[in-house]
Chain A
Amino acid sequence: MELNNPNLPSDTVIVTKLDEAIGWARESSLWPMIFGTACCAIEFMSAAASRYDISRFGAEVVRFSPRQADLMIVAGTITYKQAPILKQIYDQMSEPKWVVSMGACACSGGFYDNYCTLQGIDEIIPVDMYVGGCPPRPEALLDALLCIQKDLRTNKYNFDRHKDFKGLLDEA
Chain B
Amino acid sequence: MKHEYITVAHSEIHSFIQNKYKDGFNYLLDITAIDYTEYIDTHEEEYSVIYIIRHKDFKLHVVIKTYLPTLEIDSITDIFSGANWLEREVYDQYGVIFTNHPNLRRVLNHREFVGHPLRKSYPITKGQLLYETDDLVDEMNNRLLSKEVVCSLEDGSFSECNKDLMFLNLGPSHPASHGTIRTYVALDGETIEAAVSEIGYLHRGFEKSCENHTYNQIVPYTDRLNYCSAISNNIAFVKTVEDMLGVTLSERAQAIRVMLLELSRVEDHIVCLAAVLVDMGGLTNYWYMYNPREDIYDLLSKLTGARLTNSFMRVGGMANDLYDGFDEDLKEVIKKVQYGVNETLKLIKHNKIFHDRTQNVGVISAEDAINASMTGPNLRASGVSFDMRKDTPYYGYEKYEFDVIVGSVGDVYDRVMVRYAEIDESIKIIEQVMQNLPEGDVNIKDASITLPTKEAAYTTIEGAMNQFKLIYEGVKVPAKEYYGSLEATNGELGFFIVSDGSGTPYKVKVKAPSFTAMSAYPQMVEGSQLADAILTLGSLNIIAGEMDR
Give the B-binding residues of A (Cβ under 8 A): 34-39, 41-43, 45-46, 49-51, 64, 76-77, 79-86, 89, 105, 111-119, 134-135, 137, 168-169
Range, interface on chain B = 35 or more
Identify which of B271, B309, B544 contacts A134 (C-beta below 8 A): B309
Q: Mark B96-114, 1 if CB is under 8 A from A, else 0.
A: 0000000000001110000
* Structural contact, B204 and A46, CB atoms closer than 8 A: no
24 residue pairs of the A-B complex, CB under 8 angstroms, read A37-B201, A37-B544, A38-B544, A39-B309, A42-B227, A42-B308, A49-B286, A76-B179, A79-B202, A79-B203, A80-B129, A81-B130, A81-B201, A83-B130, A84-B133, A85-B201, A112-B205, A114-B205, A115-B125, A115-B127, A115-B208, A116-B117, A116-B203, A135-B309
Identify the closest chain A residue to B123 (Cβ): A115
Give the A-binding residues of B (Cβ under 8 A): 108-110, 117, 122-133, 172-175, 178-180, 200-205, 208-209, 220-221, 224, 227-228, 271, 286-287, 290-291, 293-294, 297, 307-309, 544-545
* Structural contact, A39 and B172, CB atoms closer than 8 A: no
Most buried by B among A76, A81, A84: A81
* Structural contact, A111 and B220, CB atoms closer than 8 A: yes
**Lowest 4 A-B CB distances belong to which pairs?**
A39-B227, A114-B205, A49-B290, A81-B110
Given A36-B179, A38-B224, the answer on whether A117 and B291 have CB atoms closer than 8 Å is: no
**Chain A residues closer than 8 Å to B131, beta-carbon distance:** 84, 169
| Shortest distance between the CB of A144 and any CB in chain B (Å) | 17
- Given A64-B173, A114-B124, list of 17 further CB < 8 A pairs? A35-B179, A38-B224, A42-B308, A50-B291, A51-B294, A77-B204, A79-B202, A79-B203, A81-B130, A83-B129, A85-B172, A115-B122, A115-B125, A116-B117, A116-B203, A137-B307, A168-B129
**Chain A residues closer than 8 Å to B123, beta-carbon distance:** 115
Identify the closest chain B residue to A118 (Cβ): B127
* Structural contact, A80 and B202, CB atoms closer than 8 A: no
**Chain A residues closer than 8 Å to B180, beta-carbon distance:** 37-38, 82
| Shortest distance between the CB of A132 and any CB in chain B (Å) | 14
Identify which of B117, B130, B132, B545 contacts A38 (C-beta below 8 A): B545
* Structural contact, B130 and A80, CB atoms closer than 8 A: yes
| Shortest distance between the CB of A172 and any CB in chain B (Å) | 11
* Structural contact, B205 and A85, CB atoms closer than 8 A: no
Given A49-B287, A89-B173, A134-B309, the answer on whether A115 and B205 have CB atoms closer than 8 Å is: yes
